[in-house]
Amino acid sequence: MKKVLIATGGTGGHIFVGVAVASELKKYGIEAVFSTSGRSEDLGGLRYYPIHARGFLGKSVFKQFSYPFSFILSLTESFWMILKERPHAVLGTGSYASVAPAITARFLLIPLFITEIDSIPGMATRFLSHFAYRVYISFVEAARWLPKKKTRIMGCPVRRLRVLEDNAAKAELGLNPQIPLVFVFGGSGGAQKISELMTELIPQIDGVQFLLSTGRRDYNEISEKLMGCEKVKIYPFISDMGLAYSASDLVVSRAGALTLAEIQRFKKPAILIPYPYATLEHQARNAKVLERMGCVRVIMEEELSSQRLKSEIENIIKSVHLREDMSRSFPDIVNGADRIARDIAICLDT
């Protein structure tokens, strides 16, 4: 059986992209093994190797000084891992943690593939694209930064999620099917500022129920503040995102590329609050692409206030016609996971 090493980063966005492609590779008789600097539980039991890697941009002077030592360690780990596994190809998911495995692969003459889910490629993707056999992108806008002959527009690799009728999904969550639902989350790690604002707003907004995913760090504090509030369900982490999206009438979230692809897949109106410290302003740029289409509203964090967020939520959730117009504005999404897996399978067979 052929094997592909998928090199992912530390966030759920990068890991879930790899998991989505791994699921499709299996259909072509290709085994996937992972390297990751993130949480192993996000891999859903798939085989993996931990890698000690960290980024360079935006770090403290001390961390920039220590970066070469960290990179040498990750290179050493990558050589050991690849020599042990002997993969037929390496797929990098565009994060800094994929750089060492990718460089090791090229040094050992193993084909390198890269997938980039942001509208503007990060430094890792731009650097590795020169050595890659293929670069798979999700946004057309990303092509201008990458070698034309190697780049393929595939769509974002989206993990397989359950799709339910909205009333059935609300009922499964223990919510009232007759009341509009706002689903609030901040990505795989949560978003403290958004969660804190929602503790203030939820009691103020009538005729609406809320599903709030806080992240593990803030769960106890947020739960305590909203104790006794019957119109909200609070979770530290939601594993069944398909259920949550299916039940929701409006999404309030950060703007990671994978989150946007999932919102687009379910055609859910959204209020996006881009993470302000994302490298190269990836989240803001990704969100603006959908905002121009009319399917989301974007609030930059420096403009964020409880009154602004309350006004946007009420304007959208209380207008069925507006929500329908926003939903219709979404373009049809192509799940890139199968297309990427199929292309890799073809390349490995030639």
User: Both 145 and 188 in a single domain?
Assistant: no
Residue 228 structure tokens: 């006794």
Whole-angstrom distance, CA of residue 189 vs CA of residue 225 = 20
Render pLDDT for 9-66 as a digit per residue (tens, 0 to 9): 867 678 889 999 999 999 999 999 999 886 666 787 899 999 887 665 555 555 566 6
Closest CA to 310 of 299, 321, 295, 323: 299
User: Both 175 and 152 in a single domain?
Assistant: no
Q: Is 265 annotated as a binding residue?
A: no
User: Both 134 and 174 in a single domain?
Assistant: no
User: Both 259 and 235 in a single domain?
Assistant: yes
Whole-angstrom distance, CA of residue 273 vs CA of residue 270 = 10
Q: Model-level pTM greater than 0.75?
A: yes
- pLDDT of 58 reads 52
Q: Is 11 annotated as a binding residue?
A: yes
User: Both 208 and 182 in a single domain?
Assistant: yes
User: Both 69 and 88 in a single domain?
Assistant: yes
Q: Is 256 annotated as a binding residue?
A: no
User: Both 107 and 86 in a single domain?
Assistant: yes
Intra-chain end-to-end CA distance of the chain, in Å: 15
Q: Is 253 annotated as a binding residue?
A: no
- pLDDT of 54 reads 64
Whole-angstrom distance, CA of residue 171 vs CA of residue 176 = 6
User: Both 130 and 73 in a single domain?
Assistant: yes
All residue ranges of the chain with pLDDT < 70 are 10, 12, 38-41, 54-67, 187-190
User: Both 144 and 80 in a single domain?
Assistant: yes
Which structural domain range is residue 302 located in?
166-329
- pLDDT of 346 reads 97
User: Both 223 and 312 in a single domain?
Assistant: yes
Q: Is 159 annotated as a binding residue?
A: yes
User: Both 178 and 138 in a single domain?
Assistant: no
Structural domain total, the chain: 2
User: Both 304 and 257 in a single domain?
Assistant: yes
Q: Is 12 annotated as a binding residue?
A: yes
225: domain CATH number is 3.40.50.2000
DSSP state of 256: -
Q: Is 306 annotated as a binding residue?
A: no
